Amino acid sequence: MPEGSLRGALNRLGIVVVLLALAGGLTAPVSAQAVRLTVYTALENDQLGPYKAAFEADNPGVIIDWVRDSTGIITARILAERQNPRADIIWGLGVTSMLVFDDQNMLQPYTPRGATELKPAFRDTKSPMTWTGMDAWLSVICYNTVEAKRRGLRAPFTWQDLLNPAYKGRIVMPNPASSGTGYLTIAAWLQILGEEKGWAFMDKLHDNIGTYLHSGTAPCVRAAQGEYAMGIGFDARGALLKSQGAPIEVIIPKEGAGWDMEATGIMRGTRNLATAQRLADWTVTRKANELYNSWYSIVAYPGLTNVPPFYPPNAEKQMVKNDLLWMAKNRERILSEWSRRYDVKSAPR
């Protein structure tokens, strides 16, 4: 067969060539010039856009690629990727998870420029630091007034009130294994009541729980939709939903609210260390903290005192005495105990 007809054959079949070309096209990076930072986060989806835009505006040539999931999922993922980290930096994850990583030597020591200005409670005590805080978020009850009226329910004012048999099946809360809000909530109960009484409380509460949801956002959203009468969620989501017209009250129970702190830290082994440091520097600026402050009333930068609309007043005074180190150390034990007791009732994941 002449050479020409072979070439013709390949042209006609075209498969190998076309496939290789297509495969090349498919795997090519999206943009070659800009530095892309892979940022792992548990921030709320609606926060990601504004945060990214604000940082990128100040740092042309850097593009943030978010990998976002709930706290438990992102934490598990970072731990699983320990040998071969895929994240450059973590921005917006509970400090109780950051302490776990730090304990396993997974964070790159770096004190962001200006980090020493932050409130002492919101930064690592080591020098150089491995993490810096952003804001504190609290567990609250989102209580649907319309549904309550329709079903003749009375509003809860304490965590103990949630055991009221009239609430049976009407409460939703996040699964602490997947949700950071879920974990800080049960950690607060265990600290307020002590472990034994804390688990006994949860055993009883379990009877009233409609279902355990995947994320910390979902319980307040579902309560706002009246799908359930009340949801145990976090402060900022409840306030935002209320400002959007949802018929809910955001209640901080009398015993106090559990809380955790969102934090930033660079992954050890990142291939973009310099750029990651630029982001770390930016996250402790006043400008960044003003952004956090549009959501949360308690932020790391001193002197910022905005209270977002419908955010529960005096929240700072109602935070429980919380041992973050204890929360980090006991995280795995508490979560596996929780799963053993209640997971059968939890939503997928």
Partner 1 sequence: MATAVAVVPARRKLARDEWIARMAVVALALWLLVAVALPLWALLSKSFQNRDGVFVGLANYATYFSNPALFSSFWNSIVVAAIATAVVLPAAFAYAYALTRTAMKAKGLFNALAQIPILAPSLLPAIALIYLFGNQGLLRGLLFGQSIYGPLGIVIAEAFYTFPHALLILVTALTTADARLYESAAALGASPRRIFLTVTLPGARYGILSAALVVFTLVVTDFGAPKVIGGRFNVLATDVYKQVVGQQNFQIGAVVAMMLLAPAVLSFAAERFVRRKQMAQLTAQAVPLVPKPQPLGDGAFLGLCALVAIPIVGILATAAFASLIKFWPYNLALSLRNYNFGNFETAGWLPYWNSLRLAGWTAVIGTALIFTGAYLQEKTRGLQAVRAVVQLFAMLPLAVPGLVLGISYIFFFNHPANPLGFLYGTMAILVLNTIAHFYTVGHLTATTALKQLDSEFEAVSASLRAPFYRTFGKVTVPVCLPAILDIAVYMFVNAMTTVSAVIFLWVPPTRVASIAVVYMDDAGWQGAAAAMAMMIVYTSATVKVLHVLLARTLDRRTQAWRRR
Name the minimum Å distance from CB 162 to partner 1.
Answer: 18
Name the minimum Å distance from CB 120 to partner 1.
Answer: 33
Burial of 164 (0-12, 13-18, 19+ CB in 10 A): middle
Residues 174-193, one symbol each (x = binds partner 1 by CB under 8 A, - = not), give ---xx---------------
| Cα distance between residue 239 and residue 244, in whole Å | 9
349 sits near partner 1 (criterion: CB under 8 A): yes
Give Cβ neighbours of residue 335 (< 8 Å, ≥ 6 apart): 72, 176, 177, 183
286 sits near partner 1 (criterion: CB under 8 A): no
DSSP lists the bridge partners of residue 68 as: 41
* Alpha helix stretches (DSSP H) within the chain: 3-13, 15-27, 45-58, 71-80, 95-103, 145-151, 180-193, 195-208, 218-224, 235-243, 273-283, 286-293, 324-329, 331-342
Tokens representing 137 are: 């978020």
| Cα distance between residue 37 and residue 304, in whole Å | 28
Detail the DSSP E strand segments found in 112-163.
Answer: 132-144
Name the minimum Å distance from CB 177 to partner 1.
Answer: 7
Interface residue with partner 1, options 7, 17, 19, 121 (CB under 8 A)? 19
Name the minimum Å distance from CB 54 to partner 1.
Answer: 15
From the list 24-32, 106-114, 273-281, 306-314, the region that binds partner 1 by CB under 8 A is: 24-32
Q: Which is nearer to partner 1, 19 or 121 (CB)?
A: 19
Contact status, residue 219 vs residue 233, Cβ threshold 8 Å: yes
Name the minimum Å distance from CB 116 to partner 1.
Answer: 32
Q: Which is nearer to partner 1, 154 or 206 (CB)?
A: 206
76 sits near partner 1 (criterion: CB under 8 A): yes
Q: Which is nearer to partner 1, 73 or 307 (CB)?
A: 73
Task: Give the chain's length.
Answer: 349
Going by the DSSP 8-state scheme, the letter that residue 149 receives in this structure is H
Q: Which is nearer to partner 1, 6 or 200 (CB)?
A: 6
Interface residue with partner 1, options 225, 306, 318, 330 (CB under 8 A)? 225
80 sits near partner 1 (criterion: CB under 8 A): yes
Q: Which is nearer to partner 1, 162 or 220 (CB)?
A: 220
Instruction: Give CA 30 to chain center in angstroms.
Output: 27
20 sits near partner 1 (criterion: CB under 8 A): no
C-alpha angle with apex 332: 327 to 338, nearest 5 degrees?
95
| Cα distance between residue 121 and residue 36, in whole Å | 31
Crossing angle for the helix pair 95-103 and 331-342, nearest 10 degrees?
A: 120
Interface residue with partner 1, options 95, 246, 288, 300 (CB under 8 A)? 246
From the list 118-126, 192-200, 225-233, 279-287, the region that binds partner 1 by CB under 8 A is: 225-233
Name the minimum Å distance from CB 114 to partner 1.
Answer: 28
DSSP lists the bridge partners of residue 133 as: 263
| Cα distance between residue 153 and residue 66, in whole Å | 41
Residues 109-148, one symbol each (x = binds partner 1 by CB under 8 A, - = not), give -------------------------------------x--
57 sits near partner 1 (criterion: CB under 8 A): no
Count of residues in contact with partner 1, rule CB under 8 A? 62
Site for partner 1, rule CB under 8 A: 1, 5-6, 9, 12-13, 15-16, 18-19, 22-23, 26-27, 30, 45-46, 48-49, 65-70, 72-73, 76-77, 79-80, 84, 146, 177-178, 210-215, 217-222, 225-228, 244-247, 343-349
